[in-house]
Amino acid sequence: MTYEKDLSIVISLFNEEESLPELISWIEKVVVSNGYKYEIIMVDDGSNDRSWEIVHELSRKNPCIRGISFRRNYGKSAALYHGFMAAEGRVVITMDADLQDDIYKIPEFIALFQQGYQIVYGVRSNRKSDTYFKQKTASVFYKLMGFMGAGTVDDHADFRLMSNKALEALRGYKEVNLFLRGIVPLIGFESTKVYYERKQRVTGETKYSFRKMLSFALDGITSFSVRPLRVIALAGLLCSGLSILGLFYALISYFAGVTVPGWTAIVCSIWMLGGIQLLCLGVVGEYIGKIFSEVKQRPRYIVDEVVFCQDTPQSKDSL
């Protein structure tokens, strides 16, 4: 198969008006100096600032920039997925729009692809640019994901290269609740890591509020693993076992004549068991909710508008 372009850079953005011009000028510098035949696909995930107008302006100046805007905010995974599907390059590199990812690592990513790796993960060498809270919650998240049986790559967000072969495999995943960070390692191609220093966010602020992060983590776990259901079943089994022991204890105490009015014990067990049952119901409900949204087969996102790339510049040589 022949490819129109060597490289597609896919960027998901949500209210990033301040960083876009600088981001694009850095990317252009790197790709042009390396002579890649490229395209940049900017997926606007329902921004309500001037981001989409800026994408229009940038695409007018550089025909290699394509823009796609969603009708509303569907989340970064949906935006990246759409970018993947629209990409025409031999390889696709995804990155954030906030200049935190190291654009200068792009040639290193491509060199590794040329050595035969189909997926290259950009991994942070440290998390100094994050707040203490984010560092701690991220570390709990990765541990939890590992325990739940979903293999994610630690300290890797969405700065990664995927070959067209790997993307073809990704197209086979039809689920609506797409958890890219879990699915990409699952498709099982030859992969490697590139370590990079993640910079501070210079403009704007994080678009991941605590609520969004929590929903992302919950989504990740319930999209990937049925282990929480098993943990619940085990907890139920343990509780039943303990209650049989408790029954023996109560009977023996009764016959030994040492029973006292057991108000405290009764109230405690009601609260405890009630709590456990509610928790279990909540987890089961979470999975049922997921089944519900999957069977409806709603579209992952709705595209509002598209700005096209009209032409591609000449390159020195192909990948």
**H or E element at residue 304:** strand 303-307
Q: Which of residues 167-206 bind ligand UDP (CB under 6 A)?
A: 206
Should residue 96 be labelled a site residue for ligand UDP when binding is judged by CB under 6 A? yes
Should residue 280 be labelled a site residue for ligand UDP when binding is judged by CB under 6 A? no
Nearer to ligand UDP, 218 or 244 (CB): 218
Q: Would you call 43 exposed, middle or buried from its count of C-beta atoms within 10 A (0-12, 13-18, 19+)? A: buried
Q: Would you call 24 exposed, middle or buried from its count of C-beta atoms within 10 A (0-12, 13-18, 19+)? A: buried
Should residue 208 be labelled a site residue for ligand UDP when binding is judged by CB under 6 A? yes
Interacting residue ranges for Mg ion, rule: CB under 5 A = 96, 98, 100
Smallest distance from ligand UDP to CB 135, Å: 12
Alpha helices in 187-226 (DSSP H): 210-224
Q: Which of 293, 310, 296, 299 is closest to 71 using CA atoms?
A: 299
Per partner kind, with CB cut-offs from 5 to 8 A, the member of ligand UDP, Mg ion, none near residue 187 is: none
Size of the site for ligand UDP (CB under 6 A): 16
Should residue 124 be labelled a site residue for ligand UDP when binding is judged by CB under 6 A? no
Q: Which two tokens stand for residue 72?
A: 């509303």
User: Would you give the binding string for ligand UDP spanning residues 36-65, x where CB under 6 A is met?
Assistant: ---------x--------------------
Ramachandran area for residue 35 (φ above 0: left; ψ -120 to 50: alpha; else beta): left
DSSP β-ladder status, 65-70 and 5-13 = unpaired
User: Would you give the binding string for ligand UDP spanning residues 245-264, x where CB under 6 A is met?
Assistant: --------------------
Nearer to ligand UDP, 210 or 292 (CB): 210
